[in-house]
Structure formats: structure tokens, C-alpha cells
């Protein structure tokens, strides 16, 4: 049994606890959070809880850490865990700077521990089916892959603090789209072209709330990552274009139950999201790949599976995002690899 210590007790932490109910060979046995660890442990019936993540790293009954905290804490926690001989699954983005990401990868390599970059889109059943169909030549050789991750804004205030987050929507959600496109294409891009701006949430912070990143692959194929904190209603879809056809997976609507609610005639003005068409998922965590992702982590640690989403992968995604910010600033195509010692990706856009 892989005994996982969870760092963070908010949205992702609850999602992990729910998802692990259907995972074999792994369980969360302790949680660390400065304010809510005790209540979280009681809710999920965890035997131990800590206010400080350092105590979780020192716990001899914890084999691995799942890091689900703000971005600026990822590197420090992951490096400490690796040096303590504990495996790590780290939420996206891997870190908020390339030097931090390099240090995380080095610490895991030197300690012989697993560093998994937690990209759930690689484990989404619908997306895996699309990839399988593309690999079997259903649409011919793909020349364009589009992935959109969009909604009306982040779920926690810290996302607007660029010192904590490192950037805006392209770092928060673009990392999902970029990694999924590269995984689907089976290659990493050789250049990036990007545009981004602030359209809806200007009063909340200086970061971008909408972005479009074009990935230029060897041979001429392209990927388009559209990401938004400024899209009410949202979008979570994948499209693959080839000379023989087109594959489309709408993650929000494909595996969902369609529900229509008529507006209340007496309160039509404030019926809002309670009326109209809605799409209710019947097992959202599974459809978004979280149990499969956690199962893969347990399997990779035990040696039963080769790591599918590594720390090195997370580092490459971060490098692409750095280049995207530079492209958005200069209005030009930026070649990869892209070297930078800036402490935050968004600093290239500000420059």
C-alpha cells in the first residue's frame, strides 16, 4: 500500500480523496494544511493531520506526497520530500520558474524517487480514445490539434496574486492544453506564437485572463491552445484535424446528462444559471481522469508502469509557457528551446 501524504486541503485535495476511493494500492493517510487540516482529516477519516507540511515530510508512515497547494510552494515542498526519500505527485504547473523546475527534477533523480507531473488530461478516457483513433489513422496524419480549457475565472483568490501564481490563465490552464496537445501529437513543438490580454478581470490583478498559444511542430503541424478566465459558460474540448477527417471530444457535454430547466416566470430576472441547458456529469472525477492519474502514480512508484507524465515533461511545458509570454510581448514567433532565468513566466510579458 502506497501511503500518501496530502499537502493542501482545498478543491484539489478533496478531489484526490474522492478519487482515491477507486484506486488500488494507494491511500491518503495524512494531510497538512495551516488552517484546515483537522477538519479535513475528520471529513475524510484520515488518521493524522499537521499544520506544517514539514511535519508531513518527516512522517515515517508517509511514502509519498501529493502536492496540491499554491504554485509558489511546489518546488520547496517537492525538493524536501525527495531529499527525505519520498515520491512526489505535483499539481500543475510544476513550478513558477525554470530554475525551480530544474532543481525539482535534479532532487528526484539524485534521490531515486518518482516525480510525477500531475496532468489529468492525459488520463481522460475520452481523450485517450481520441488519441487511439488518431494513432490508428482514423483521420490520417494530424496537421492541427486544438484544445480549449476555459471558464469564467479561478476558484481561489490566490490565483490573482502573480507572486503566488507566477502568471495568469496561460500558466494556470494553458499548461493543461499545451501538454495535452503535445501528448496527442506525439512530439514537442519547435516554436511558439502567442497572444494574450486582459478583458474581464482587470480590477483583480495584472495577469492575463485570455490567451491563445500556437504550437509549431516539426514538419509543419500546429497546435492551438485556447485558455480563458473570461468565458462564462466555459469550454473543455479537444479537436484533431487530419486529411481524412476530424475528431471532436467535448469533455463537458460528451459524457454528461442533458438537463433543461425552464426559467421561473416570477423570478426570471435572477434565474441565471439555474435555468436553460445544463450538462450534469454522473462521475466527474473519473471522466476528468483523476482516479486513473492517481492509480498511475501508485503503479509507477511500485514499478508496475513506466511514468507517463514526468517532472521533465512538466519542465518542458513550463518552458513553452515562458516562450509564450515572450511571444505575446514581442508579437513574434519564439523558437524553442527557450532559456530564461526570470523568476516568473509572466515577467517576460511585463518586460
Rounded distance between C-alpha atoms, residue 311 and residue 34, angstroms? 26
Q: Is the four-CA dihedral 129, 134, 137, 138 of positive or negative sign?
A: positive
Please tell me the predicted confidence (pLDDT) of residue 157: 94
* pLDDT, the chain, mean: 95
Q: Quickly state the pLDDT bin for 274 (edges 50, 70, 90).
A: low
Q: How confident is the model over 304-337, as pLDDT tens digits?
A: 999 999 999 999 999 999 999 999 999 999 999 9
Spell out the domains of the chain, with CATH numbers in brackets. 2-118 (3.40.50.720), 122-289+314-350 (3.30.360.10)
Residue 283: the pLDDT is 85
Q: Is the pLDDT of residue 137 over 90?
A: yes
CA–CA separation, 205 vs 60, rounded Å? Answer: 41
pLDDT at 271: 43
pLDDT for 269 equals 45
Predicted confidence (pLDDT) per residue in 12-70, tens digit: 999 999 999 999 999 999 999 999 999 999 999 999 999 999 999 999 999 999 999 99
Closest CA to 196 of 303, 325, 65: 325
Per-residue pLDDT band at 150 (split at 50, 70, 90): very high
- Four-residue CA torsion sign, 247, 251, 253, 256: positive
| Residue with the three cell numbers 524517487 | 113
Mean pLDDT of 124-149: 97
Measuring CA to CA, how many Å separate 67 from each of 8, 75, 269?
A: 7, 10, 42
Amino acid at each position: 500500500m502506497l501511503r500518501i501524504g496530502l499537502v493542501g486541503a482545498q478543491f484539489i485535495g478533496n478531489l484526490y480523496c474522492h478519487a482515491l476511493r477507486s484506486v488500488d494500492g494507494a491511500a491518503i493517510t495524512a494531510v497538512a494544511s495551516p488552517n484546515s487540516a483537522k477538519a479535513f482529516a475528520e471529513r475524510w477519516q484520515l488518521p493524522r493531520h499537521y499544520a506544517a507540511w514539514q511535519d508531513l515530510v518527516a512522517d515515517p508512515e508517509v511514502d509519498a506526497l501529493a502536492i496540491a497547494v499554491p504554485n509558489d510552494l511546489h518546488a520547496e515542498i517537492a525538493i524536501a520530500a525527495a531529499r527525505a526519500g519520498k515520491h512526489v505527485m505535483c499539481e500543475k504547473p510544476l513550478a513558477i520558474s525554470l530554475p525551480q523546475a530544474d532543481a525539482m527534477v535534479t532532487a528526484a533523480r539524485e534521490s531515486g524517487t518518482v516525480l510525477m507531473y500531475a496532468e489529468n488530461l492525459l488520463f481522460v478516457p475520452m481523450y485517450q480514445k481520441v488519441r487511439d483513433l488518431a494513432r490508428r489513422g482514423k483521420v490520417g496524419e494530424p496537421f492541427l490539434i486544438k484544445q480549449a480549457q476555459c471558464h469564467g475565472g479561478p476558484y481561489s483568490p490566490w490565483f490573482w496574486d502573480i507572486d503566488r501564481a507566477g502568471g495568469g490563465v496561460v500558466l494556470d490552464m494553458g499548461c493543461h492544453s499545451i501538454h495535452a496537445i503535445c501528448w496527442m501529437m506525439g512530439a514537442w513543438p519547435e516554436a511558439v506564437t502567442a497572444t494574450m490580454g486582459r478583458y474581464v478581470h482587470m480590477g483583480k490583478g495584472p495577469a492575463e485572463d485570455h490567451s491563445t498559444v500556437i504550437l509549431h511542430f516539426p514538419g509543419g503541424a500546429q497546435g492551438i491552445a485556447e485558455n480563458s478566465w473570461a468565458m462564462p459558460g466555459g469550454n473543455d474540448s479537444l479537436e484533431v484535424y487530419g486529411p481524412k477527417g476530424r475528431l471532436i471530444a467535448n469533455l463537458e457535454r460528451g459524457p454528461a446528462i442533458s438537463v433543461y430547466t425552464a426559467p421561473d416566470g416570477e423570478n426570471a430576472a435572477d434565474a441565471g444559471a439555474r435555468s436553460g441547458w445544463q450538462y450534469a456529469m454522473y462521475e466527474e472525477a473519473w471522466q476528468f481522469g483523476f482516479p486513473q492519474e492517481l492509480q498511475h502514480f501508485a503503479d509507477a512508484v511500485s514499478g508496475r508502469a513506466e511514468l507517463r507524465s514526468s517532472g521533465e515533461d512538466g519542465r518542458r511545458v513550463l518552458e513553452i509557457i515562458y516562450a509564450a509570454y515572450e511571444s505575446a510581448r514581442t508579437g513574434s514567433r519564439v523558437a524553442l528551446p527557450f532559456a530564461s532565468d526570470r523568476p516568473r513566466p509572466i515577467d517576460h510579458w511585463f518586460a
